Amino acid sequence: MKALVRLLSLVFALVSLGAARVPAQTPAADKLPPLSYVCPMPQDADVLEDKPGKCPKCGMTLVPVRLDSVWTCPVHAAVIKDKPGKCPIDNRDLVQVTMAVSWTCPNSTDELTEPGTCPDGSRRAKKYTARAHGNHNPQHGGLFFMAPDNWHHLEGTYARAGSFRMYLYDDFTKPLPRTEVRKISGSVVLPDGKSVPLVSAQNGRYLEAKIGNVPVPAEMFAKVKFKPDAPENRFDFAFQAYSKEPVAGAVTTTAATNPAAPAAPPASADNVAAASPTPAASIVPTPTGADPGLMPLPIPNTVPEMLSQLSQRTEVIKRLIDSGMFASVYVPAFQVKDLALALDERKNDLPNERQQAVGPAVKRLVRSAWLLDAFGDLGNKEQITEAYAQFTAAVRELENAFPSKP
């Protein structure tokens, strides 16, 4: 379960066309996501706990919520599906987002955390509600990051040689108004150190820098100020290939037509791991429709197996950082965190001096996992590299504390 620093939040607001409601399933078919606890204040959106308590920022009582991952259209949030496929409106690939799920009854505004029966005897209706930071999917085929202010989001694209474009969004991944885009300033720094200013495009929809013909794979970073008096933020971009703008396909309305094949899942930690030499058995597959960062990790039964998976997932994190997939780092980072907590429960079998080393190592690893998660969303390679160094040091401490063989 993700903890405090996971920069996700619940903001009880409707999507542009209203919160989607679907008929409730029978209790046997309803697989409930685990309960999380969030701060009810939107400005404290970075608070996410796995147990009841008080908000560490404002002191208000945390509220329970169930977070689930669903599939929706990139630009039509009212469409909600439980598996990948094609958007019925524009035929683009569905994207995976995190939403809050609750159950409601007719003529009631109460949002319940359990399915069941209403006073009138009807089944409670399942309701999905969009949440801030629930959608970090690129909208234009680029690389997507969240700003340190927890509100602004941006996407950088290198669609063709010579042009870097930056699209700006709010915390619900809705494009900023053109008047707001024009207030943002920044520059792009190229591999040779040259700095190119970001200027508003003529249509006001994005910022653009004429960077010349930089061959791919290309690494560059942007320096951005969201307000004239705001601090400058850095975002690192590693383009493995030119960005491709998603193209809407022809929408089919004939009932007899075969359904579209499911879309390939977006790049994730598991995808990278599957393409790597790491043994397939060491990577936990992600169930369709579930956010892997919110899924518990199946823990092996023996310490050697735990240590083996600890090492393998640490290597997955390195490959993700090296490839610029910063936003996917949280998946293996939190899996390693779960492994470390499981190892902490096995320390009583160790000699006393080794037992004393395990607790501090686990604390350092958990904290650095949180940092990897936070810096991965922010897109700052320097920060995430420093956090990874702390992470690997804690992993080595744990490995040294436990014998490698039973």
What distances in angstroms separate CA 352 from CA 318, 349, 400, one per listed residue?
Answer: 33, 9, 14
57-61, 140-144, 258-262: least confidently modelled range: 258-262
Question: What is the per-residue pLDDT for 33?
Answer: 81
Residue 290 domain-assigned (yes or no):
no
Does 213 share its domain with 314?
A: no
Does 85 share its domain with 152?
A: no
Q: How confident is the model at residue 363 (pLDDT cuts 50, 70, 90)?
A: confident
Does 28 share its domain with 117?
A: yes
Is the per-residue pLDDT at 12 higher than 60? Answer: no
The predicted-structure confidence for 220-278, as pLDDT tens digits, reads as follows 999 999 998 889 999 999 998 899 888 765 554 433 333 333 333 344 444 444 443 33
Does 158 share its domain with 125?
A: no
d(CA 262, CA 369): 32
**Residue 336, phi then psi, degrees to nearest 5:** -65, -40
Strand stretches in 207-356, DSSP E: 207-212, 218-225, 233-239
Residue 272 domain-assigned (yes or no):
no
Does 341 share its domain with 366?
A: yes
Which residues have a Cβ under 8 Å from the Cβ of 111 and sit 6 or more positions away?
A: 12, 102, 103, 104, 127, 129
Average pLDDT (376-398) is: 88
d(CA 67, CA 58): 22
CB 133 within 8 A of CB 149: no
Residue 2 domain-assigned (yes or no):
no
Residue 183 domain-assigned (yes or no):
yes
Residue 252 domain-assigned (yes or no):
no
d(CA 320, CA 292): 15
DSSP 8-state code for residue 327: G
Look at residues 73, 107, 130 and tell me which one is the last residue of a structural domain.
Answer: 130
Pairing of the two strands 143-146 and 125-130: unpaired
CB 150 within 8 A of CB 171: yes
The predicted-structure confidence for 160-203, as pLDDT tens digits, reads as follows 778 999 999 998 888 999 889 989 999 999 999 999 999 998 88
Residue 338 or 44, more confident: 338
CB 166 within 8 A of CB 186: yes
Does 339 share its domain with 372?
A: yes
Residue 79 domain-assigned (yes or no):
yes
Describe the crossing of helices 330-344 and 303-322 by its angle, rounded to 10 degrees.
Answer: 160
Does 165 share its domain with 210?
A: yes
Residue 167 or 46, more confident: 167
Look at residues 104, 130, 156 and tell me which one is the last residue of a structural domain.
Answer: 130
Is the per-residue pLDDT at 16 higher than 90? Answer: no
Does 124 share its domain with 151?
A: no
* Tokens coding 97: 């987002």
Closest to 174 (Cα-Cα) out of 71, 76, 47: 76
CATH number at residue 218: 2.60.40.10
Does 115 share its domain with 153?
A: no
The predicted-structure confidence for 65-84, as pLDDT tens digits, reads as follows 888 878 888 776 678 888 88
Which residues have a Cβ under 8 Å from the Cβ of 282 and sit 6 or more positions away?
A: 273, 308, 309, 312, 313
Residue 70 domain-assigned (yes or no):
yes
| Domain enclosing residue 43, as ranges | 20-130
Is the per-residue pLDDT at 11 higher than 80? Answer: no
Look at residues 218, 239, 260 and tell me which one is the last residue of a structural domain.
Answer: 239
The predicted-structure confidence for 103-115, as pLDDT tens digits, reads as follows 999 989 899 999 9
Domain tally for the chain? 3
Question: What is the per-residue pLDDT for 290?
Answer: 40
Does 112 share its domain with 180?
A: no
Does 120 share its domain with 152?
A: no
Residue 344 domain-assigned (yes or no):
yes
Does 303 share its domain with 384?
A: yes
d(CA 6, CA 382): 19
